[in-house]
Chain A
Amino acid sequence: MNRLVIEGLEAGYGAVSVLRGISIEVRQGELVALLGTNGNGKSTLLNAILGFVRPTAGRVVLEWDGQTIDLTGAPPHRIVDAGIALVPEGRRLAPNLTVEENLLLAGSGRRARRDARRNLGFCFETFPILKERRAQRAATMSGGQQQMLAIARALMTSPRIVLIDEPSLGLAPIAVTQVIATIRSLQATQNLTIVIAEQSVVQAIDISARAYVLAHGSILRTFARGDSAADLDDIRRAMLGVGESRRPTEAAQ
Protein backbone atom coordinates (compact mmCIF):
# COMPACT_ATOMS: atom_id res chain seq x y z
CA MET A 1 0.00 0.00 0.00
CA ASN A 2 1.31 3.45 -0.93
CA ARG A 3 1.47 5.68 2.11
CA LEU A 4 3.36 8.23 4.16
CA VAL A 5 4.11 7.09 7.67
CA ILE A 6 5.15 9.40 10.46
CA GLU A 7 6.24 7.68 13.64
CA GLY A 8 6.93 9.30 16.99
CA LEU A 9 8.07 12.53 15.35
CA GLU A 10 9.63 15.11 17.66
CA ALA A 11 10.94 18.47 16.55
CA GLY A 12 11.35 22.01 17.74
CA TYR A 13 13.28 25.23 17.45
CA GLY A 14 16.45 25.35 19.52
CA ALA A 15 15.62 24.46 23.09
CA VAL A 16 11.87 24.72 22.51
CA SER A 17 10.30 21.42 21.59
CA VAL A 18 7.12 21.78 19.59
CA LEU A 19 6.19 18.31 18.37
CA ARG A 20 5.95 15.61 20.98
CA GLY A 21 5.77 12.19 19.48
CA ILE A 22 3.44 12.63 16.50
CA SER A 23 2.36 9.48 14.67
CA ILE A 24 0.10 9.74 11.66
CA GLU A 25 -0.43 7.84 8.47
CA VAL A 26 -1.63 9.12 5.10
CA ARG A 27 -2.69 6.62 2.45
CA GLN A 28 -2.75 7.19 -1.29
CA GLY A 29 -5.84 9.04 -2.44
CA GLU A 30 -6.81 10.22 1.01
CA LEU A 31 -7.53 13.77 2.04
CA VAL A 32 -6.46 14.19 5.64
CA ALA A 33 -6.97 17.27 7.77
CA LEU A 34 -4.70 18.50 10.54
CA LEU A 35 -6.76 20.67 12.82
CA GLY A 36 -5.58 22.89 15.61
CA THR A 37 -5.48 26.48 16.69
CA ASN A 38 -2.39 28.60 16.16
CA GLY A 39 0.76 27.55 17.97
CA ASN A 40 -0.15 23.90 18.40
CA GLY A 41 2.37 22.61 15.88
CA LYS A 42 0.54 22.21 12.56
CA SER A 43 3.03 24.21 10.55
CA THR A 44 5.95 22.73 12.46
CA LEU A 45 4.72 19.25 11.60
CA LEU A 46 4.48 20.08 7.90
CA ASN A 47 7.86 21.80 7.99
CA ALA A 48 9.40 18.81 9.76
CA ILE A 49 8.02 16.45 7.11
CA LEU A 50 9.49 18.66 4.39
CA GLY A 51 12.87 18.90 6.13
CA PHE A 52 12.80 22.59 7.02
CA VAL A 53 12.76 21.69 10.71
CA ARG A 54 15.11 18.86 11.68
CA PRO A 55 13.36 16.13 13.64
CA THR A 56 15.05 15.29 16.94
CA ALA A 57 13.37 11.90 17.16
CA GLY A 58 11.02 9.69 15.17
CA ARG A 59 10.83 8.86 11.48
CA VAL A 60 9.26 10.10 8.27
CA VAL A 61 8.97 7.25 5.80
CA LEU A 62 7.45 7.21 2.33
CA GLU A 63 6.33 3.78 1.14
CA TRP A 64 5.52 4.07 -2.53
CA ASP A 65 5.51 1.71 -5.51
CA GLY A 66 7.27 -0.96 -3.52
CA GLN A 67 10.01 1.40 -2.40
CA THR A 68 10.56 2.46 1.19
CA ILE A 69 12.26 5.84 1.40
CA ASP A 70 13.39 7.15 4.79
CA LEU A 71 13.10 10.93 4.56
CA THR A 72 13.94 11.74 8.16
CA GLY A 73 16.38 14.66 8.24
CA ALA A 74 16.82 14.81 4.44
CA PRO A 75 17.19 18.28 2.86
CA PRO A 76 13.94 19.78 1.50
CA HIS A 77 14.81 19.53 -2.20
CA ARG A 78 15.45 15.81 -1.78
CA ILE A 79 12.09 15.36 -0.06
CA VAL A 80 10.28 17.29 -2.79
CA ASP A 81 12.06 15.12 -5.33
CA ALA A 82 10.86 12.02 -3.49
CA GLY A 83 7.30 13.19 -4.12
CA ILE A 84 6.16 15.28 -1.18
CA ALA A 85 5.13 18.80 -2.11
CA LEU A 86 4.33 21.66 0.23
CA VAL A 87 2.06 24.64 -0.30
CA PRO A 88 3.66 26.69 2.45
CA GLU A 89 2.10 29.19 4.79
CA GLY A 90 2.56 32.63 3.25
CA ARG A 91 2.87 30.86 -0.14
CA ARG A 92 6.60 31.68 -0.55
CA LEU A 93 6.49 32.31 -4.27
CA ALA A 94 9.44 33.84 -6.08
CA PRO A 95 7.96 37.36 -6.32
CA ASN A 96 10.24 38.61 -9.09
CA LEU A 97 9.55 35.68 -11.39
CA THR A 98 6.57 35.45 -13.66
CA VAL A 99 3.74 33.00 -13.04
CA GLU A 100 5.09 30.69 -15.73
CA GLU A 101 8.66 30.90 -14.41
CA ASN A 102 7.48 30.00 -10.92
CA LEU A 103 5.81 26.92 -12.38
CA LEU A 104 8.73 25.94 -14.62
CA LEU A 105 11.12 26.23 -11.70
CA ALA A 106 9.07 23.74 -9.71
CA GLY A 107 9.01 21.46 -12.73
CA SER A 108 12.79 21.39 -12.96
CA GLY A 109 13.40 18.69 -10.36
CA ARG A 110 15.01 15.44 -11.43
CA ARG A 111 11.79 13.41 -11.29
CA ALA A 112 9.40 16.21 -12.24
CA ARG A 113 11.26 17.32 -15.37
CA ARG A 114 10.03 14.36 -17.42
CA ASP A 115 6.43 15.47 -17.00
CA ALA A 116 6.99 19.23 -16.91
CA ARG A 117 5.15 19.94 -20.16
CA ARG A 118 2.16 17.80 -19.24
CA ASN A 119 2.04 19.18 -15.70
CA LEU A 120 2.16 22.75 -16.99
CA GLY A 121 -0.72 22.00 -19.32
CA PHE A 122 -2.68 20.47 -16.46
CA CYS A 123 -2.02 23.50 -14.19
CA PHE A 124 -3.15 25.93 -16.88
CA GLU A 125 -6.26 23.83 -17.46
CA THR A 126 -7.08 23.65 -13.76
CA PHE A 127 -6.33 27.32 -13.11
CA PRO A 128 -7.21 29.26 -16.27
CA ILE A 129 -6.36 32.53 -14.50
CA LEU A 130 -2.73 31.39 -14.29
CA LYS A 131 -2.62 30.77 -18.01
CA GLU A 132 -4.11 34.18 -18.64
CA ARG A 133 -1.50 35.81 -16.40
CA ARG A 134 1.45 33.57 -17.21
CA ALA A 135 3.73 36.49 -18.10
CA GLN A 136 2.81 38.54 -15.03
CA ARG A 137 5.14 38.76 -12.04
CA ALA A 138 3.91 36.65 -9.13
CA ALA A 139 4.10 39.56 -6.70
CA THR A 140 1.50 41.52 -8.66
CA MET A 141 -1.23 38.89 -8.30
CA SER A 142 -4.04 38.96 -5.75
CA GLY A 143 -3.87 36.78 -2.65
CA GLY A 144 -6.26 34.18 -4.01
CA GLN A 145 -4.42 33.97 -7.31
CA GLN A 146 -1.11 33.62 -5.48
CA GLN A 147 -2.59 30.77 -3.45
CA MET A 148 -3.62 29.06 -6.67
CA LEU A 149 -0.14 29.60 -8.06
CA ALA A 150 1.32 28.05 -4.91
CA ILE A 151 -0.94 25.02 -5.32
CA ALA A 152 -0.13 24.78 -9.03
CA ARG A 153 3.56 25.02 -8.20
CA ALA A 154 3.18 22.04 -5.87
CA LEU A 155 1.48 20.12 -8.70
CA MET A 156 4.40 20.90 -11.00
CA THR A 157 6.71 18.79 -8.84
CA SER A 158 4.72 15.65 -9.87
CA PRO A 159 3.82 15.08 -6.23
CA ARG A 160 2.66 11.86 -4.65
CA ILE A 161 1.47 13.73 -1.58
CA VAL A 162 0.64 17.43 -1.30
CA LEU A 163 0.82 19.16 2.08
CA ILE A 164 -1.17 22.39 2.24
CA ASP A 165 -0.56 24.78 5.10
CA GLU A 166 -3.51 27.04 5.97
CA PRO A 167 -4.85 27.63 2.47
CA SER A 168 -7.48 29.99 3.83
CA LEU A 169 -5.13 32.24 5.77
CA GLY A 170 -5.39 35.87 4.72
CA LEU A 171 -7.82 35.26 1.88
CA ALA A 172 -11.20 36.81 1.23
CA PRO A 173 -14.06 34.37 1.97
CA ILE A 174 -14.89 33.98 -1.72
CA ALA A 175 -11.27 33.09 -2.48
CA VAL A 176 -11.28 30.54 0.35
CA THR A 177 -14.33 28.84 -1.12
CA GLN A 178 -12.66 28.73 -4.50
CA VAL A 179 -9.38 27.34 -3.17
CA ILE A 180 -11.13 24.68 -1.08
CA ALA A 181 -13.28 23.67 -4.05
CA THR A 182 -10.14 23.32 -6.15
CA ILE A 183 -8.43 21.16 -3.55
CA ARG A 184 -11.45 18.94 -3.28
CA SER A 185 -11.76 18.50 -7.03
CA LEU A 186 -8.04 17.77 -7.39
CA GLN A 187 -8.33 15.08 -4.79
CA ALA A 188 -11.41 13.58 -6.41
CA THR A 189 -10.41 13.75 -10.07
CA GLN A 190 -6.65 13.21 -9.86
CA ASN A 191 -6.65 10.77 -6.98
CA LEU A 192 -4.15 13.08 -5.31
CA THR A 193 -3.15 12.50 -1.74
CA ILE A 194 -3.57 15.65 0.29
CA VAL A 195 -2.82 16.72 3.84
CA ILE A 196 -4.37 20.02 4.73
CA ALA A 197 -3.63 21.99 7.90
CA GLU A 198 -6.44 24.32 8.86
CA GLN A 199 -7.94 26.33 11.64
CA SER A 200 -11.29 26.84 10.03
CA VAL A 201 -12.87 23.55 10.97
CA VAL A 202 -15.96 23.60 8.81
CA GLN A 203 -14.17 23.76 5.50
CA ALA A 204 -11.47 21.29 6.38
CA ILE A 205 -13.71 18.64 7.93
CA ASP A 206 -16.17 19.00 5.12
CA ILE A 207 -13.80 17.69 2.52
CA SER A 208 -11.53 15.36 4.44
CA ALA A 209 -11.75 11.63 5.06
CA ARG A 210 -9.93 11.83 8.33
CA ALA A 211 -8.97 14.58 10.73
CA TYR A 212 -6.30 14.72 13.38
CA VAL A 213 -6.61 17.30 16.11
CA LEU A 214 -3.29 18.69 17.25
CA ALA A 215 -2.89 20.31 20.65
CA HIS A 216 0.38 21.22 22.31
CA GLY A 217 2.35 19.27 19.76
CA SER A 218 0.53 15.97 20.16
CA ILE A 219 -2.33 14.27 18.36
CA LEU A 220 -5.19 14.77 20.75
CA ARG A 221 -7.97 13.07 18.83
CA THR A 222 -8.59 11.39 15.52
CA PHE A 223 -11.90 11.71 13.74
CA ALA A 224 -12.97 9.70 10.75
CA ARG A 225 -15.75 10.67 8.37
CA GLY A 226 -18.97 9.00 9.39
CA ASP A 227 -17.71 8.77 12.94
CA SER A 228 -20.74 9.54 15.08
CA ALA A 229 -18.56 11.42 17.51
CA ALA A 230 -17.35 13.69 14.79
CA ASP A 231 -19.81 16.47 15.15
CA LEU A 232 -18.40 19.90 14.71
CA ASP A 233 -18.84 21.05 18.26
CA ASP A 234 -16.94 18.03 19.44
CA ILE A 235 -14.03 18.82 17.15
CA ARG A 236 -14.03 22.45 18.20
CA ARG A 237 -13.90 21.46 21.83
CA ALA A 238 -11.04 19.09 21.10
CA MET A 239 -9.15 21.84 19.31
CA LEU A 240 -9.54 24.10 22.31
CA GLY A 241 -8.31 21.32 24.52
CA VAL A 242 -11.57 20.73 26.39
CA GLY A 243 -12.39 17.45 24.67
CA GLU A 244 -11.30 15.25 27.52
CA SER A 245 -13.19 16.96 30.28
CA ARG A 246 -16.45 16.37 28.47
CA ARG A 247 -15.72 12.70 27.93
CA PRO A 248 -14.21 11.48 31.15
CA THR A 249 -14.39 7.81 30.17
CA GLU A 250 -12.32 8.33 27.06
CA ALA A 251 -9.77 10.45 28.85
CA ALA A 252 -9.43 7.78 31.51
CA GLN A 253 -8.53 5.23 28.88
Chain B
Amino acid sequence: MFLEILINAVATGLLLGSIYAALALGLAVTFGILHIPNIAHPVFVVLGAYLAVVANERGWDPILAALAGALPFYLLGALFYEFYARVFERRGEADTMQALTLFFGVSLVVETALVLKFGTNQQTVDVDYVGQSLRIGLLVMPYRLLVPALVAPVMILTLWAYLKFTYAGIAIRAAAHDVRALQVSGVDPHWIKRHAFGIASVTALVAGAILVIIGPVDPFSGRLQIGRAFAVVILAGMGAVPGTILAAFIIGVAESLVSAFLNPSWSPGVAFLILLATLALKPQGLFGASR
Protein backbone atom coordinates (compact mmCIF):
# COMPACT_ATOMS: atom_id res chain seq x y z
CA MET B 1 0.00 0.00 0.00
CA PHE B 2 2.68 2.47 1.06
CA LEU B 3 4.83 1.40 -1.86
CA GLU B 4 1.96 1.85 -4.27
CA ILE B 5 1.28 5.37 -2.99
CA LEU B 6 4.98 6.22 -3.12
CA ILE B 7 5.47 4.93 -6.66
CA ASN B 8 2.41 6.70 -7.94
CA ALA B 9 3.22 9.90 -6.07
CA VAL B 10 6.69 9.99 -7.60
CA ALA B 11 5.36 9.17 -11.06
CA THR B 12 2.69 11.85 -10.83
CA GLY B 13 5.31 14.26 -9.53
CA LEU B 14 7.53 13.58 -12.55
CA LEU B 15 4.62 14.09 -14.91
CA LEU B 16 3.63 17.33 -13.17
CA GLY B 17 7.26 18.40 -13.15
CA SER B 18 7.54 17.95 -16.88
CA ILE B 19 4.49 20.16 -17.29
CA TYR B 20 5.86 22.78 -14.90
CA ALA B 21 9.01 22.85 -17.00
CA ALA B 22 6.92 23.68 -20.05
CA LEU B 23 5.16 26.44 -18.12
CA ALA B 24 8.44 27.91 -16.92
CA LEU B 25 10.37 27.56 -20.16
CA GLY B 26 9.42 30.96 -21.58
CA LEU B 27 10.38 32.53 -18.30
CA ALA B 28 13.73 30.73 -18.46
CA VAL B 29 14.31 32.73 -21.65
CA THR B 30 12.95 36.16 -20.68
CA PHE B 31 13.96 36.12 -17.02
CA GLY B 32 16.69 33.49 -16.93
CA ILE B 33 18.58 34.63 -20.01
CA LEU B 34 17.51 38.23 -20.66
CA HIS B 35 16.99 39.10 -16.96
CA ILE B 36 13.62 40.72 -17.69
CA PRO B 37 11.21 39.70 -14.87
CA ASN B 38 8.26 38.95 -17.10
CA ILE B 39 5.54 38.10 -14.59
CA ALA B 40 3.05 38.37 -17.44
CA HIS B 41 4.35 35.05 -18.80
CA PRO B 42 1.68 32.92 -17.03
CA VAL B 43 -1.11 35.07 -18.43
CA PHE B 44 0.24 34.36 -21.91
CA VAL B 45 0.02 30.67 -20.98
CA VAL B 46 -3.64 31.16 -20.08
CA LEU B 47 -4.22 33.06 -23.31
CA GLY B 48 -2.68 30.07 -25.13
CA ALA B 49 -5.02 27.74 -23.21
CA TYR B 50 -8.01 29.77 -24.40
CA LEU B 51 -6.78 29.57 -27.97
CA ALA B 52 -6.60 25.78 -27.56
CA VAL B 53 -10.15 25.77 -26.14
CA VAL B 54 -11.54 27.80 -29.03
CA ALA B 55 -9.74 25.59 -31.57
CA ASN B 56 -10.91 22.46 -29.76
CA GLU B 57 -14.55 23.56 -30.08
CA ARG B 58 -13.91 23.46 -33.83
CA GLY B 59 -12.55 19.94 -33.57
CA TRP B 60 -8.81 20.60 -33.28
CA ASP B 61 -6.46 18.74 -30.98
CA PRO B 62 -5.13 21.30 -28.45
CA ILE B 63 -1.47 20.53 -29.16
CA LEU B 64 -1.95 20.76 -32.93
CA ALA B 65 -3.82 24.02 -32.36
CA ALA B 66 -0.82 25.33 -30.44
CA LEU B 67 1.53 24.48 -33.29
CA ALA B 68 -0.80 26.18 -35.77
CA GLY B 69 -0.95 29.30 -33.59
CA ALA B 70 2.83 29.56 -33.21
CA LEU B 71 3.32 32.37 -35.71
CA PRO B 72 0.59 34.69 -34.34
CA PHE B 73 1.88 34.10 -30.81
CA TYR B 74 5.45 34.79 -31.92
CA LEU B 75 4.28 38.12 -33.31
CA LEU B 76 2.29 38.84 -30.16
CA GLY B 77 5.36 38.23 -27.98
CA ALA B 78 7.52 40.36 -30.27
CA LEU B 79 4.95 43.16 -30.14
CA PHE B 80 4.83 42.86 -26.34
CA TYR B 81 8.61 43.31 -26.14
CA GLU B 82 8.46 46.22 -28.56
CA PHE B 83 5.95 47.90 -26.24
CA TYR B 84 8.10 47.20 -23.18
CA ALA B 85 11.22 48.45 -24.92
CA ARG B 86 9.55 51.64 -26.16
CA VAL B 87 8.29 52.36 -22.66
CA PHE B 88 11.52 51.62 -20.81
CA GLU B 89 14.69 50.52 -22.51
CA ARG B 90 14.93 53.33 -25.04
CA ARG B 91 14.96 55.78 -22.17
CA GLY B 92 17.96 54.05 -20.66
CA GLU B 93 18.20 51.13 -18.31
CA ALA B 94 14.86 49.59 -17.42
CA ASP B 95 14.00 49.95 -13.77
CA THR B 96 12.94 46.54 -12.41
CA MET B 97 10.16 47.91 -10.24
CA GLN B 98 8.58 49.84 -13.09
CA ALA B 99 8.93 46.86 -15.39
CA LEU B 100 7.17 44.62 -12.85
CA THR B 101 4.35 47.14 -12.64
CA LEU B 102 4.01 47.13 -16.41
CA PHE B 103 3.95 43.33 -16.60
CA PHE B 104 1.45 43.16 -13.75
CA GLY B 105 -0.76 45.67 -15.54
CA VAL B 106 -0.56 43.69 -18.78
CA SER B 107 -1.60 40.55 -16.85
CA LEU B 108 -4.66 42.34 -15.47
CA VAL B 109 -5.62 43.66 -18.89
CA VAL B 110 -5.39 40.21 -20.49
CA GLU B 111 -7.32 38.59 -17.63
CA THR B 112 -10.06 41.20 -17.86
CA ALA B 113 -10.27 40.81 -21.61
CA LEU B 114 -10.67 37.03 -21.19
CA VAL B 115 -13.40 37.55 -18.59
CA LEU B 116 -15.25 39.94 -20.90
CA LYS B 117 -15.04 37.57 -23.84
CA PHE B 118 -15.50 34.18 -22.17
CA GLY B 119 -16.80 34.90 -18.67
CA THR B 120 -15.32 33.47 -15.50
CA ASN B 121 -16.45 29.91 -16.17
CA GLN B 122 -13.87 27.17 -16.28
CA GLN B 123 -13.05 26.02 -19.78
CA THR B 124 -12.11 22.50 -20.79
CA VAL B 125 -11.08 20.68 -23.92
CA ASP B 126 -12.53 17.47 -25.22
CA VAL B 127 -9.91 14.94 -26.33
CA ASP B 128 -10.13 11.18 -26.55
CA TYR B 129 -7.30 10.37 -24.21
CA VAL B 130 -8.63 12.37 -21.24
CA GLY B 131 -10.22 10.04 -18.69
CA GLN B 132 -8.11 6.99 -19.56
CA SER B 133 -4.99 5.74 -17.87
CA LEU B 134 -1.93 3.71 -18.64
CA ARG B 135 -1.38 0.89 -16.13
CA ILE B 136 1.97 -0.82 -15.64
CA GLY B 137 1.91 -3.04 -12.57
CA LEU B 138 1.35 -0.82 -9.55
CA LEU B 139 1.83 2.29 -11.68
CA VAL B 140 -1.20 4.20 -12.93
CA MET B 141 -0.58 7.13 -15.25
CA PRO B 142 -3.54 9.09 -16.58
CA TYR B 143 -3.14 10.08 -20.21
CA ARG B 144 -4.25 13.63 -19.44
CA LEU B 145 -0.93 13.96 -17.59
CA LEU B 146 1.16 11.58 -19.67
CA VAL B 147 0.57 13.21 -23.06
CA PRO B 148 1.42 16.76 -21.89
CA ALA B 149 4.39 15.41 -19.97
CA LEU B 150 5.82 14.01 -23.21
CA VAL B 151 5.36 17.27 -25.09
CA ALA B 152 7.38 19.29 -22.58
CA PRO B 153 10.76 17.53 -23.00
CA VAL B 154 10.44 17.73 -26.78
CA MET B 155 9.84 21.48 -26.57
CA ILE B 156 12.74 21.98 -24.15
CA LEU B 157 15.15 19.95 -26.27
CA THR B 158 14.13 21.89 -29.37
CA LEU B 159 14.70 25.22 -27.64
CA TRP B 160 18.01 24.04 -26.20
CA ALA B 161 19.23 22.99 -29.63
CA TYR B 162 18.11 26.31 -31.08
CA LEU B 163 20.00 28.27 -28.41
CA LYS B 164 23.06 26.10 -28.82
CA PHE B 165 23.43 25.71 -32.56
CA THR B 166 21.98 28.73 -34.35
CA TYR B 167 23.40 32.23 -34.74
CA ALA B 168 20.26 33.76 -33.24
CA GLY B 169 20.41 31.31 -30.34
CA ILE B 170 24.00 32.21 -29.55
CA ALA B 171 23.08 35.89 -29.72
CA ILE B 172 20.19 35.41 -27.30
CA ARG B 173 22.54 33.78 -24.80
CA ALA B 174 25.00 36.64 -25.17
CA ALA B 175 22.33 39.31 -24.76
CA ALA B 176 21.99 39.19 -21.00
CA HIS B 177 25.60 39.77 -20.16
CA ASP B 178 26.85 42.50 -22.40
CA VAL B 179 24.75 44.24 -25.00
CA ARG B 180 27.88 45.85 -26.38
CA ALA B 181 29.36 42.43 -27.09
CA LEU B 182 26.44 41.92 -29.45
CA GLN B 183 26.81 45.33 -31.06
CA VAL B 184 30.51 44.97 -31.83
CA SER B 185 29.65 41.58 -33.29
CA GLY B 186 27.35 43.37 -35.72
CA VAL B 187 24.15 42.11 -34.09
CA ASP B 188 21.19 44.36 -33.26
CA PRO B 189 20.44 43.73 -29.56
CA HIS B 190 16.91 45.08 -29.86
CA TRP B 191 16.10 42.63 -32.63
CA ILE B 192 17.54 39.72 -30.66
CA LYS B 193 15.58 40.48 -27.50
CA ARG B 194 12.37 40.92 -29.46
CA HIS B 195 13.03 37.58 -31.15
CA ALA B 196 13.60 35.94 -27.74
CA PHE B 197 10.28 37.32 -26.49
CA GLY B 198 8.56 35.95 -29.57
CA ILE B 199 10.00 32.50 -28.87
CA ALA B 200 9.04 32.70 -25.18
CA SER B 201 5.51 33.56 -26.23
CA VAL B 202 5.33 30.48 -28.47
CA THR B 203 6.41 28.29 -25.54
CA ALA B 204 3.62 29.92 -23.49
CA LEU B 205 1.11 28.91 -26.14
CA VAL B 206 2.25 25.28 -26.10
CA ALA B 207 2.27 25.32 -22.29
CA GLY B 208 -1.27 26.71 -22.36
CA ALA B 209 -2.49 23.90 -24.57
CA ILE B 210 -0.89 21.43 -22.15
CA LEU B 211 -2.41 23.17 -19.14
CA VAL B 212 -5.94 22.90 -20.47
CA ILE B 213 -5.48 19.18 -21.23
CA ILE B 214 -4.48 18.56 -17.60
CA GLY B 215 -7.49 20.32 -16.18
CA PRO B 216 -9.98 23.16 -16.55
CA VAL B 217 -8.66 26.68 -17.02
CA ASP B 218 -10.23 30.02 -16.10
CA PRO B 219 -8.94 33.55 -16.78
CA PHE B 220 -7.09 33.63 -13.45
CA SER B 221 -5.34 30.26 -13.72
CA GLY B 222 -2.05 31.99 -14.47
CA ARG B 223 -1.82 33.45 -10.99
CA LEU B 224 -1.27 30.03 -9.43
CA GLN B 225 1.64 29.45 -11.78
CA ILE B 226 3.63 32.66 -11.29
CA GLY B 227 5.45 31.61 -8.13
CA ARG B 228 6.00 28.09 -9.35
CA ALA B 229 7.40 29.22 -12.70
CA PHE B 230 9.87 31.58 -11.01
CA ALA B 231 10.78 28.82 -8.53
CA VAL B 232 11.62 26.48 -11.43
CA VAL B 233 13.78 29.07 -13.22
CA ILE B 234 15.66 30.08 -10.08
CA LEU B 235 16.18 26.50 -8.88
CA ALA B 236 17.50 25.54 -12.33
CA GLY B 237 19.84 28.53 -12.31
CA MET B 238 19.49 31.65 -14.41
CA GLY B 239 19.92 30.83 -18.07
CA ALA B 240 20.15 27.07 -17.60
CA VAL B 241 17.56 25.91 -20.11
CA PRO B 242 18.12 22.13 -19.96
CA GLY B 243 18.34 22.44 -16.16
CA THR B 244 14.76 23.67 -16.17
CA ILE B 245 13.44 20.16 -16.54
CA LEU B 246 15.35 18.71 -13.60
CA ALA B 247 14.38 21.65 -11.38
CA ALA B 248 10.77 21.18 -12.40
CA PHE B 249 10.98 17.44 -11.63
CA ILE B 250 12.24 18.25 -8.14
CA ILE B 251 9.40 20.68 -7.51
CA GLY B 252 6.79 18.37 -9.07
CA VAL B 253 7.86 15.34 -7.04
CA ALA B 254 8.10 17.38 -3.83
CA GLU B 255 4.59 18.73 -4.35
CA SER B 256 3.25 15.30 -5.15
CA LEU B 257 4.85 13.71 -2.07
CA VAL B 258 3.49 16.45 0.18
CA SER B 259 0.08 15.93 -1.39
CA ALA B 260 0.18 12.18 -0.92
CA PHE B 261 1.65 11.91 2.56
CA LEU B 262 0.87 15.20 4.32
CA ASN B 263 -1.98 17.27 3.01
CA PRO B 264 -2.92 18.24 -0.57
CA SER B 265 -3.72 21.78 0.55
CA TRP B 266 -0.07 22.35 1.42
CA SER B 267 1.27 21.49 -1.97
CA PRO B 268 0.97 25.00 -3.49
CA GLY B 269 3.35 26.20 -0.79
CA VAL B 270 6.05 23.71 -1.69
CA ALA B 271 7.34 25.67 -4.69
CA PHE B 272 7.68 28.81 -2.59
CA LEU B 273 9.53 26.90 0.12
CA ILE B 274 11.96 25.56 -2.49
CA LEU B 275 12.27 29.05 -4.00
CA LEU B 276 13.20 30.56 -0.63
CA ALA B 277 15.56 27.71 0.21
CA THR B 278 17.30 28.11 -3.15
CA LEU B 279 17.74 31.84 -2.72
CA ALA B 280 19.12 31.33 0.77
CA LEU B 281 21.39 28.33 0.20
CA LYS B 282 22.33 28.22 -3.48
CA PRO B 283 21.32 31.49 -5.15
CA GLN B 284 23.04 30.56 -8.42
CA GLY B 285 20.70 27.56 -8.71
CA LEU B 286 21.57 23.99 -9.59
CA PHE B 287 23.06 24.63 -13.03
CA GLY B 288 23.58 28.39 -13.17
CA ALA B 289 27.03 29.92 -13.36
CA SER B 290 27.90 31.78 -10.17
CA ARG B 291 27.63 35.47 -10.75
Contacts and interface: CB of A to CB of B under 8 A. Distances in A.
Contacts of B289: 96
B179 to A, nearest CB: 9
B223 interface: no
B174 A92 contact: no
Interface residues of A, number: 31
Contacts of B189: 77
Given A101-B170, A105-B174, A108-B167, A93 B186 contact: no
A75 interface: yes
Interface residues of B, number: 20
Nearest to A106: B185
Contact of A109 (B173, B176, B177, B187): B187
A99 B282 CA distance: 28
Interface stretch (A80-88, A123-131, A223-231, A237-245): A80-88
Contacts of A87: 184
A106 B184 CA distance: 8
B85 to A, nearest CB: 14
B181 A80 contact: no
A105 B183 contact: no
Q: Is the interface of B mostly helix, strand, loop or mixed?
A: helix
B93 interface: no
A109 B184 CA distance: 10
A170 interface: no
Contacts, number: 84
A154 B183 CA distance: 11
Nearest to A76: B183
B182 A105 contact: yes
Contacts of A102: 174, 181, 185
A26 to B, nearest CB: 18
Contacts of B177: 94-96
B178 interface: yes
B199 to A, nearest CB: 17
A157 B181 CA distance: 13
Interface of B: 167, 170-171, 173-174, 176-178, 180-189, 239, 289
